[in-house]
Amino acid sequence: MNAFDPYTYRDDFPILAQSVHGKPLVYLDNAATSQKPLPVLNASRDYYEKLNSNIHRGVHHLAQAATAAHEAARETIARHLNATRPEEIIFTSGTTDSVNLVASSLGRSDRFVNGDEIIISGLEHHSNTVPWQMLCERLGITLKVIPVLDDGTLDLDAYQELLSDRTKLVAVNHVSNAFGTVNKVVQICSQAKKFGALTFIDGAQSLPHMSIDVQDVDCDFYAFSGHKVYGPTGIGILFGKHDLLCELPPWRGGGEMIKEVTFEKTTYNDPPFKFEAGTPNIEGGIALAAAIDYVNKVGLTHIASHESALIEKAAAMLAGLDEVAIYGPPDRTGAISFNFEGIHHYDLGTLLDQMGLALRTGHHCCQPLMARFGVSGTLRASFALYNTEQEIDALEAALKRALMMLR
């Protein structure tokens, strides 16, 4: 029996109380964005009502208080990831921004020469594909791809064959946003290290569902987005090993990322500030820390166990329906993707919306992965701590009704 009771926490999420098309909202699109609990909403409002000021630059009270709150948020996130120091935490606008930061900074360094190689995987979101493609085109680097097996997992034997002395970077996601596949990132990073390659882990879909220890993963970079872990949109985190951050050049210029500016020369600031040009999303960083505190108060172990039970129930329910294809391995995390023979995922998703259920349809920004499985997209249900077994029952009833209408 799962002891976790999601109803204990649902009142913390005011948006869940509403109706959609006259039906109670069943929100199953958490892999796209999760809803925000009251402590996060309050943190955002409190900042603007009590602290609103620019940071790091003022001597007056509000500036000092806002700076202290923002840097305390950095420390909260550093502890959550088990970074060695707060300076390894860079505030960005999200995972996409973090990938572009690393790609751009590496592109301005001396770490790549023509003929070098970058390895990504066939499970990647476009945001962990396109920036590396752009870097490869600019510098004459070759992009290689770890194949995806029929069960939706990576072919790690093929990955081993792809690695060589020309490999300079391996960039993979921790959890697939499309299939919920959990990649063996510790093994992937360890193998890359043998060839002296840097490693970048996209943690956008892993951080809401599991404890992350960047020292245990031993990656060079780890990124995530606040809005997928009950925090605000427009805020994200890039973890980078401190020595590497000190080495890399900044990717944007402006205020705060400098120590001294003359018209002849600019001296850059130390990490993390040399990667945080301009006024940051101060409120977003503070509210993200509130989201991390909320998750830790609930307990990631309890959350993971609850969500795993929901996915198992959803998988068993779907398997009992006719002409269904379920994608990804059985030990998926966070999300489950499926299609029904002869029925377009968009049509089915539209009917489900009319019944009050919010699921995601489409290619999930993973067009190469969809092509690998010969589909234009899937219907995806993704879960959070506030979802319930009764909502899986509601999904089953809605699917049966919609399928009767479409067949």
The catalytic residue positions are 365
CB atoms < 10 A from the CB of 157, how many? 10
Residue type, 167: T
Burial 124-148 (b: 16+ CB within 10 A, else e): bbebbbbbbeebbeebebeebbbeb
Distance CA 259, CA 207 (A): 33
CB 166 within 8 A of CB 172: no
